[in-house]
Each structure stands twice: as C-alpha cells, then as structure tokens.
C-alpha cells in the first residue's frame, strides 16, 4: 500500500483487517461507504444536503444491480439511468447528471490507489473496482440551462394575479370565520417578500426578525430598508453565503406589506421570544414545504401554468430588475450569484423591454445623424 494510505477514508482505516467477517463482501461495501463519507467530511461537505443523498444513491444503485462495487460495469450504469427514465418520463437532465456525477465520484474514490481499495478487493475477491461512467455513456453538458422549458419568469400580470389570489384566499377564510386566516396572511406576505427580494426558499424560511435592516440612505423605509440573508446557497465545503439585499424603489410596496405583517399578523401567533420572521400556528418556523404549498395554492387559484414554481419568483425578480435598467453587477450582488453568467441564465426580459432598447438606440442614432447633417 502506498505512502498516502492514511488519507481519510483509506481502506485499512475503515475496515478492520484482523476481524473475520461473516459476510466479507457486505462488510467491505459498508466500509467503502463509511470511508467515502469520511473523505467527504474531511472536505467539510454538508452531511444532510450533500453526503447523505450521495450515500443513498450508491446504495440504491447497488440494490438495482444486485452486485458489489468491484463487480460494477458501465452496462449496469446505463441500465440504471434507463430504468429511471422509463419510470419517470420527465426525468430532468440536471437530475440525471447529478446522479452520474455522484456515482462517478464514488468510483473515483474506490479506484484511487491511495485509498487502498483496488489492492484490498483484488486480494479478497479477485476483482478490482473500475470507473463506470465515461465520455461515451455520460450526459454531455452542452447547455448553460437545462431546467424545464416551461419554467420562466412570471410576467407582471401573472405576479399581480398570484398575489391577488394569495390575498383572496386569506380574505375568504376570514370571511367564513374558519381557522387558517392568519396563516394565509402570513403565506401571502412571505410570497411577496420572496419576489421583492429575489430570495431562495431556504433564504426566505430562515429569516429572523433581526435580519430586517435599516438603510441609512433611505430612512423612509424604516426597518425594511434591507434584508440580511444569512443562509445563502453555499459552495461545496463552505458555510452558507451571506449578503444584504437592499429594498429597491420599484419594490418598495413591500415595506407596507411587511410592516402590516409585523404589527398586526405576526403578534397574533403569540410568538413569544421566537426569533423567526415567519411563525407557524404551533409557534415554530415556517417550513420549506409549507412555503412551496403556499405558492402552489396561489398559483392554482390564479390559473397560472403549473410549470411555474416558487423559484420562478426569483427568476422574475432578476428579470424585472434588469428591465428597470439596474446594472447587471447590482442585480448579481442582490441575488448572491458568484458569476454574472448565472444571473444571465435567470433573466428573460420581455419583448416590450427589448423593443424599448431598440427604440432608444434608434432615437440616439438618429439624433447623432441629425446633428451631423445640421453641421
């Protein structure tokens, strides 16, 4: 075994060599999973969000093949993906690539001589693990965006219809004197905040009261001058990214919306000292699932396409800021994108906006020509 055998996840560190296992194959497979988990933990990857789903996928693939990793061949990988697609015709490219990448990384780990698994498997089982994904059987990344074609930014009319439906649901429940009116008003406010600040689900649900910030440059907005996002999307091996999202004039209607919620709605939940901005009937924090359900209920009531989801509001925010002529760098900072290319993928400016740009360009050009001819 090479000198680098003491790496986190090395075979001899996770598989006891002096123990006689009743089922050596199962023991070796479990030790591989334990070692891979240890290797990923050493890289500070998040367990719940990254490591655990990868481990479940490897086990799922092993159950599908009914073979151990040192027996896997590319044919099994191809059959597995074909099986997934046959069960779910709308199986997304991005999901399939994620599965392929996870299995590829596991195979990279068990085929790396520094971790000792090739020698261990050859000595114990007479076979050596191999990589099962190659350029000829893996999805080629040919497009910057591979999401559902139907997912797009909402138009201004659709945004208004969505919020009207959310408000209408709260009014209807209250008029019928049924339970749930407070929750409906909370959900309506949460959806508007998601749009007005371009938030992701996690970012919205993890907001606390203390995350409401004043903007000394715009005192009229009071406590709603900005939002401090503490749970932005993390890079692998890094803690959640933080950013401050400023309230922009085109969305300053959210100041009154938030103020009404803070003064009238939230106190009615009797939150006590709970820090969360969005409080539930049981004095807990609003869940990701509940926020999704709030959007879906409003979407259905508004008669909007089912292809649109909560994240479409974030796309809408980016698009509408660009249409309001905010600089791309400002929009990028507002939504917390590391690269401008990511922000560009989110945008889908309207024909009216593009026509305005063309008209402005034509007017400027003709003005120059007119001045030249006058001279």
66: left (phi over 0), alpha (psi -120 to 50) or beta: left
21 among known catalytic residues: no
311 among known catalytic residues: yes
Dist CA 213 CA 228 (whole Å):
7
* Tokens, residue 35: 């070692």
214 among known catalytic residues: no
Dist CA 172 CA 165 (whole Å):
10
Catalytic site residue from 311, 326, 353, 356: 311
Contact yes or no for 25/68 (Cβ under 8 A): yes
Tokens 């939940």 belong to which residue?
269
Catalytic site residue from 114, 233, 243, 290: 233
In Å, how far are 126, 233, 336, 365, 368 from 374, measured between CA atoms? Answer: 89, 56, 48, 14, 10
Dist CA 73 CA 104 (whole Å):
12
Catalytic site residue from 299, 314, 315, 320: 314
The DSSP secondary-structure symbol of 243 reads E
Helix (H, G, I), strand (E, B) or coil at 276: strand
In Å, how far are 44, 66, 205, 284, 288 from 202, measured between CA atoms? Answer: 20, 37, 5, 15, 7
Provide DSSP, 322-333: HHTT--HHHHHH
Dist CA 7 CA 24 (whole Å):
23
Query: What are the residues whose beta carbons fall under 8 Å from the beta carbon of 220, sequence distance 6 or more?
Result: none
65: left (phi over 0), alpha (psi -120 to 50) or beta: alpha
Catalytic site residue from 120, 186, 200, 320: 200
Catalytic site residue from 109, 221, 231, 346: 346
Catalytic site residue from 54, 186, 201, 337: 337
134 among known catalytic residues: no
In Å, how far are 23, 34, 36, 53, 129 from 27, measured between CA atoms? Answer: 6, 10, 14, 21, 16
Contact yes or no for 43/236 (Cβ under 8 A): yes
Alpha helix locations (H) across 176-323? 181-197, 201-205, 253-260, 288-302, 311-323
Give the residue numbers marked as catalytic: 200, 233, 311, 314, 337, 346
């Amino acid at each position: 075994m090479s000198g680098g055998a003491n790496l986190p996840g090395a075979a001899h560190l996770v598989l006891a060599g002096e123990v006689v296992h009743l089922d050596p194959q199962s023991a070796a497979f479990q030790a591989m999973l334990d070692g891979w988990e240890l290797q990923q933990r050493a890289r500070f990857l998040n367990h719940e969000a990254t490591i655990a789903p990868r481990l479940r996928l490897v086990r799922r693939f092993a159950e599908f093949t009914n073979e151990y990793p040192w027996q896997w061949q590319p044919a099994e990988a191809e059959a597995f993906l074909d099986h997934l697609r046959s069960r779910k015709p709308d199986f997304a490219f991005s999901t399939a690539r994620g599965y392929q990448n996870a299995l590829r990384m596991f195979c990279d780990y068990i085929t790396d001589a520094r971790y000792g698994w090739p020698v261990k498997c050859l000595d114990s089982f007479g076979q050596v693990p191999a990589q099962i994904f190659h350029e000829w059987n893996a999805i080629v990344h040919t497009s910057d965006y591979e999401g559902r074609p139907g997912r797009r930014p909402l138009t201004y009319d659709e945004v208004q219809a969505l919020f009207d439906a959310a408000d209408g649901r709260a009014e209807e429940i209250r008029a019928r004197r049924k339970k749930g009116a407070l929750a409906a008003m909370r959900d309506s406010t949460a959806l508007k905040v998601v749009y007005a600040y371009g938030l992701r689900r996690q970012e919205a649900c993890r907001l606390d009261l203390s995350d409401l910030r004043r903007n000394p440059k715009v005192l009229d907005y009071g406590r709603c001058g900005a939002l401090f996002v503490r749970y932005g999307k993390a890079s692998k091996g890094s803690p959640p990214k933080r950013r401050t999202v400023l309230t922009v004039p085109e969305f300053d209607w959210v100041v009154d919306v938030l103020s009404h919620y803070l003064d009238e709605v939230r106190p009615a939940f009797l939150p006590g000292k709970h820090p969360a901005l969005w409080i539930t009937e049981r004095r807990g924090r609003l869940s990701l699932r509940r926020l999704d359900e709030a959007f879906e209920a409003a979407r259905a009531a508004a008669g909007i396409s089912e292809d649109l989801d909560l994240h479409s509001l974030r796309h809408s925010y980016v698009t509408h800021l660009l249409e309001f002529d905010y600089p791309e760098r400002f929009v990028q900072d507002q939504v917390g994108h590391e690269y401008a290319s990511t922000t560009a993928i989110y945008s889908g400016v309207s024909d009216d906006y593009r026509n305005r740009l063309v008209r402005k360009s034509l007017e400027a050009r003709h003005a120059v020509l007119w001045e030249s001819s006058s001279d």
